[in-house]
Amino acid sequence: MRIGLIGGGNVGKFLLQSINIDGLLPGGKIVGIYTRNQQSGGQLAAQFDTENYSDIHSLIQSTTIDLVIEAATIQVVKDFAAAILKSGKDLVLSSVGALADENFFRNLETICKDSNTKIHLPSGAIGGLDVLKAAKSIGELESVSIITRKPPQALPGAPLDQEQVMFEGTANEAIELFPKNINVSIILSLAGVGPDQTGVKIISDPTVRKNSHSIEATGSFGKLSLRLENDPMPNNPKTSYLAALSVLSVLKNIDAVVKVG
């Protein structure tokens, strides 16, 4: 599997290390990278034995790349996801918040059908998606909500000395206000009842050092209550380590002959 990577932040560096250096994806390699910061891109390319692309369109059109990983921003997804899929390449999305826009989502679905490509969505920093998908399959999933609690350093404008509810509303509204912090609500809503029906509460808490997510769901299956406490990635309190691991997990299972869930 020849992989192109868009983004050179913490998730991108983790994938470069895990795949190109540690060999955790047998038969796979990140053969090209694009970042907005070309100096950084050149350094990463040299460090991790890959090619640095000076513009994103060259990476997208490259015939040496089979699949593209987006590990950048929601805006990058909105600007370039369609072109990646039309080029015949599968796409692994890190910034799943872009799919809160239903029209955009449906357009990408159409492109996938026309070009015989696929979008792979990592589970991110949460769990329980298999339960939601199972209940949704017969239309008997009634409600889904998530409470996210983070250190104030991870939330723009949060007070440093007291707990504060920073947001309460729907997943669709949350991703507009916190595009870098609440991608988990969108992957949760896509597996469940949709971004306009998924309840979200974001709490800034100066007493915690880790991100936590409490998920509640009800339906004909019964009730789901799930709480995860995630370690942040080193030097970046905005990103959970599990989010990076979930991208690697997707890649390791793309060609699996036996898939769980």
Task: Delineate the domains of the chain, giving CATH numbers in brackets.
Answer: 2-121 (3.40.50.720), 129-238 (3.30.360.10)
Going by the DSSP 8-state scheme, the letter that residue 52 receives in this structure is: E
- Residues 73, 78: Cα–Cα separation, whole Å: 9
- Residues 212, 215: Cα–Cα separation, whole Å: 10
Return the pLDDT at 231. Answer: 86
Return the pLDDT at 6. Answer: 98
Task: Choose, from 13, 89, 150, 213, the residue flagged as catalytic.
Answer: 213
Other beta carbons less than 10 A from residue 258's beta carbon: 5
One DSSP character per residue, 62-90 reads -TT-SEEEE-S-HHHHHHHHHHHHHTT-E
- Residues 117, 10: Cα–Cα separation, whole Å: 27
Beta strand spans in 128-242 (E): 141-150, 164-170, 199-204, 211-219, 222-230, 232-233, 236-240
Token representation of residue 46: 């040299």
Rg from Cα positions in the chain: 18
**Is 120 noted as a catalytic residue in this protein?**
no
Helix (H) or strand (E) holding 32: strand 29-34
Asked if residue 120 lies in contact with residue 254, where contact means CB atoms within 8 angstroms, the answer is yes
pLDDT in single tens digits along all 261 residues of the chain: 999 999 999 999 999 999 999 999 999 999 999 999 999 999 999 999 999 999 999 999 999 999 999 999 999 999 999 999 999 999 999 999 999 999 999 999 999 999 999 999 999 889 999 999 999 999 999 999 999 999 998 898 999 999 999 999 999 999 999 988 888 999 999 999 999 999 999 999 999 988 899 999 999 999 999 999 988 777 666 678 898 999 999 999 998 888 776
- Residues 85, 117: Cα–Cα separation, whole Å: 6
